[in-house]
Amino acid sequence: MDDTAHGLGVRARGFGLRGPRGWAFRDVDLDAEPGSLIAVEGPSGSGRTCLLLALTGRMRPTDGMAEVGGFRPPRQMSALRRVSALANVSGVTDLEPALTVGEHLRERALLRRAFGSAPRALLRSPGRRRAEGKRLIDTALEAARLDVGTLPKGARTAVRDLERAEALRLSVALALMSGPRLLAVDDTDYKLRPSERSETWALLRSVAESGTTVLAVCGEAPEGARTVSTRPSRKKKEAADAPAETGRS
């Protein structure tokens, strides 16, 4: 698969994850080119988040194969984590309600400078580092279509005072600050009004069009997205519900 673009191509065959309580997801087949918008569609509890985490190197698969930009989990999970980023994943990327939007952004810029930059970048003057941090923040906010000026208190607005759509955009902006080749967003359309859903999908489509592959969990995929479903097919359900063979008497 061609991965010369910034984004990562995604290919899976019979991909699955079985845990102590049974299958989280199974028999997933997918072919998506770099820079695709991929919608992971299915009802809550159908393994959507587990599939998202497995394709970004955060959860170990147990069945089938997947290749993401040339990286094959589970053998290359750490390498896959370095080129992907998560947004809006409950229990993983939770925003701190008491912190402000500006504090979240500045903290992420500092972390990016400390751990994601070349060593020589740390030798630059404080003024230049501040300017580079501001550019990083401004670029991420523009890509996430989050206008801080429209928030109740601007950058001093606490996360607990954000609307859900605004919090989602902030989470996307923070994820984009690491320059990922694959952006994975959970619960993309959860508790959003129809107009907000349309705006969110337009945002994610624009990120994909810029070259970054987007993997987005949703209840219902938008038109034009490459869709993979975690809904169990009738054939899979019948196989899962079938009684175990006891043998001949």
Give the tens place of pLDDT for each residue, 161-200: 999 999 999 999 999 999 999 999 999 999 999 999 999 9
User: Three-class SS of residue 134?
Assistant: helix
* Number of neighbours of residue 203 by Cβ within 10 angstroms: 21
Distance CA 140, CA 106 (A): 12
> Is a pLDDT exceeding 90 seen at residue 249?
no
For the stretch 122-162, pLDDT in tens is: 556 667 777 888 999 999 999 999 999 999 999 999 999 99
* Omega within 30 of 0 (cis) for the link into 74: yes
Span(s) in the chain for CATH 3.40.50.300: 1-83+182-249
Q: Does residue 233 carry a pLDDT above 80?
A: no
Class of domain 1-83+182-249: alpha beta
Q: What six digits make up the tokens of 127? A: 């003024």
Q: Could you tell me the pTM of the whole model?
A: 0.87
Q: What is the pLDDT of residue 112?
A: 87
Query: How far apart, in whole angstroms, are the C-alpha atoms of residue 139 and residue 133?
Result: 10
pLDDT digits (tens, 9 = 90+) for 36-56: 999 999 998 899 999 999 999
